[in-house]
Amino acid sequence: MTTFTSRTSAGRRRPFSRPFSWRRAIALTLLGLAIAVSILPFYWVLRTALSTNGSLAANSANLLPADFNLGAFKRVFGLQSASEAIAEGGSGASINFWQYLWNSLLFSGITTACAVFFSSMAAYAFSRLRWKGRDAVFSLFLATMLVPPIFTALPNFLLIKNLGLLNSMLGLVLPYLFMTPFAIFFMRQFFLNMSREVEEAAMLDGAKHWRIFFQIIMPNAAAPIATLALLTFMGQWNEYFWPLLVGTSEESRVLTVGLGVFKSQSPQGAPDWSGLMAATLVSATPVLILFAIFGKRIVNSIGFNGTK
């Protein structure tokens, strides 16, 4: 009862209930402007990708694609020969797209699956189990969030190099495999709020922690686990610095790094703009698809950050 009343009073306030007000109109215009600034660049990328380089310069402000064609996408997917590319105003530079895509998928997929699972295990120990030194160890994990990635990246690079794992998928994924401090923090927050009753009933039936974790805790936390997996995957997909250091060969290069290389391959003065934009768009596609499917879940996860 109390929760109900407090929710309604804290919930929807509508200061602008009148049918029309100038303040509301201005507010909506500003909001619309912000949305336009956020999403219109994506249209411009698409428009450029569908143009040919030769026509871009002459029609630089035309809202529609200049000389509509799919050549840039063909170039990205490796379906166009170098001579064709140059004829369309491309630089002749190529991008080993399928290889990079596969590497990005492996890198993001493996690290997400392992880190989410191991972090959930640790979060279980930090929330559902009672043991001496628990809070101290947890603070140690939290403290690592303060260490800037570049600081650990230097020694980690040396470690991976000494292990002979440079330019290998194992070298790429290893530092992310076991946990991320954020994932542990995130899962712990949910485990803390789960009811103990089912767990206790299982205990009485003689279930061990391992079974409780797998059959009760994990299934009940499916939603937060999915959210965490989604956020981790997107973060890993967009990762640049570590893959730049460790994955420099064609066999181990991920898309973000590949894009950078593709851009710098263009000789000065005549970048392959439409090819570059096509590659950019295709690289962003997995994230865009995930966002289209799980948008609401992603948006609602933003409020979560330790601030109630």
Partner 1 sequence: MTTLTKQADPGLSAKAPRKSRKPGRPSDRFRGIGDLKIALFFIAPAMVGLILFYLVPTIRGIYLSFTEYSILGDPEWIETKNYERIAKDPLFWNALGVTGEYVVINIVLQTALALGLAILMHRVARSTLIRGALLMPYLMANVIAALLWFWMLDYQIGIINQIIEWTGLPRVAFFGSEQWAIPTQALINTWRHMGYTALLIFAGLQAIPSSVYEAASIDGSKAMTTFWRITLPLLRPVLVLVLVVTVIGSFQVFDTVAVTTAGGPVNATRVLQFYIYQRAFNEQDFGYGSALAVILFLILAIVAFIQMKFLRGNQSDLD
Contact positions with partner 1 (CB under 8 A) in 109-138: 118-119, 121-122, 124-126, 129-132, 134, 137
Stretch that binds partner 1, among 72-80, 82-90, 91-99, 241-249 (CB under 8 A): 241-249
From 80-88, 90-98, 219-227, 299-307, span contacting partner 1 (CB under 8 A) = 299-307
Strand (E) positions, the chain? none
- Could you say which of 82, 161, 214, 223 contacts partner 1 (CB under 8 A)? 161
E strand map for 45-130: none
Q: Residue 35 CB, nearest distance to partner 1 (Å)?
A: 5
- The phi, psi pair for 150, rounded to 5°, reads -65, -30
Q: How far is CA 154 from CA 158, 168, 242, 292, in A?
A: 7, 17, 10, 37
Site for partner 1 in 32-51 (CB under 8 A): 34-35, 37-39, 41-42, 44-45, 48
Nearest-angstrom CA–CA distance, 270 and 175: 39
**Alpha carbons 9 and 14: distance in angstroms, whole number:** 11
Give the shortest CB-132-to-partner 1 separation in angstroms.
6
**Both structure tokens of 159:** 């470690």
Q: Quote the tokens at residue 103.
A: 């590497």
Q: At what angle do helices 181-192 and 134-143 cross, to 10 degrees?
A: 140
Six token digits for residue 257: 């790094």
Does position 87 interact with partner 1 (CB under 8 A)? The reply is: no
18 binds partner 1 (CB under 8 A): no
Alpha carbon distance 209, 192 (integer Å): 16
The least distance separating partner 1 from the CB of residue 65, rounded to whole angstroms, comes to: 13
Give least dist CB 167 to partner 1, A: 14
By CB under 8 A, is residue 177 in contact with partner 1?
A: yes
Token pair of 137, please? 């160890």
Can residue 64 be called a binding residue for partner 1 (CB under 8 A)?
A: no
Q: Does 146 bind partner 1 (CB under 8 A)?
A: yes
* 1 near partner 1, judged by CB under 8 A: no
Q: Which is nearer to partner 1, 161 or 251 (CB)?
A: 161
**C-alpha span between 19 and 12 (Å, rounded):** 17
